[in-house]
Amino acid sequence: MRLRTKLMTIAVMLGAVQVANASDWGVYGGDTGNTRFSANTQVNAGNVSKLSVKWALQLGTNRSQESTPIIVGDTMYVTSSFGPKNVFAVNAKTGEVKWRYSPEIPKGVDQFACCDVNSRGVSYSDGKIFFGTLDARLIALDAKTGKEVWASKVVDYTQGSVITSPPTVAKNVIVTGFGGGEYGVRGALVGFDQKTGKELWRTQTVPTGNEKGADTWKNDSSKYGGGAAWFIGSYDPKLNLVYYGTSNPSPWSAAVRGNDSSEVGKFTNLYTASVIAMNPDTGNIAWHYQFTPHDAWDYDGVNELVFADLPMNGKTTPVIMQANRNGFFYVIDRANGKLLSAKQFVDGVNWATGVDLKTGSPIEAPNNSKRPGMKRKASDVCPNLLGGKNWMPMSYNKVTGLVYIPTLNLCMDMEGIQEDYKRGQFYLSVNFDLGKMGPGGHGGGLKAWDPVAQKTVWMNKNSLPFNGGTMTTASGLVFAGDIQGMFRAFDGKTGKELWKFNTGSGITAAPMTYTIDGKQYVAVVSGRTQSIPAFLGEIGEKMVNASPEGGTLFVFALN
Q: Residue 311: how many CB atoms within 10 A of its CB?
A: 10
- Residue spans of beta strands (DSSP E) within 385-504: 395-396, 403-408, 410-416, 430-437, 444-450, 455-462, 470-473, 477-481, 486-491, 497-502
What tens digit of pLDDT does each residue of 265-281 get?
A: 899 999 999 999 999 99
- Per-residue pLDDT for 9 more than 70? no
Question: Rounded CA gap, 301 and 324, in Å?
Answer: 6
Across 103-131, b (16+ Cβ under 10 Å) vs e yields bebeeebeebbbbbbbbbbbbbbeebbbb
Determine the average pLDDT of the residues in 407-416: 98
pLDDT over 90 (residue 386): yes
Task: Name the residue ranges covered by the structural domains of the chain.
Answer: 3-558
pTM over 0.75: yes
CA 408 – CA 438 distance, rounded (Å) = 9
What integer is the mean pLDDT of 47-51? 98
pLDDT at 10 over 60: no
d(CA 227, CA 187): 5
Please list, residue by residue across 467-478, b when 16 or more beta carbons sit within 10 angstroms of its beta carbon and e when fewer do.
bbbbbbbbbbbb
Mean pLDDT calculated for residue range 207-215 = 96
Distance in angstroms between the alpha carbons of the first and the last residue of the chain: 27
Question: For the chain, how long is the longest CA-to-CA vector?
Answer: 67
Task: Using the predicted structure, report yes or no on whether residue 20 has a pLDDT greater than 80.
Answer: no
Write the single-letter amino acid at 117: V
Q: Which of 253-267, 423-437, 493-507 has the lowest mean pLDDT?
A: 253-267
E strand or H helix at 545: helix 537-546
CATH code at 3-558: 2.140.10.10
pLDDT band at 17; cut points 50, 70, 90: very low
Residue 521 DSSP label: E
> What is the tens place of the pLDDT at every residue in 138-159?
999 999 999 999 999 999 999 9
Q: What pLDDT was estimated at residue 16?
A: 40
Active site residues: 298
Cβ neighbourhood burial of 459 (10 Å; 0-12, 13-18, 19+): middle
If one counts every other C-beta atom within 10 angstroms of the C-beta of residue 240, the result is 14
pLDDT number for residue 5: 38
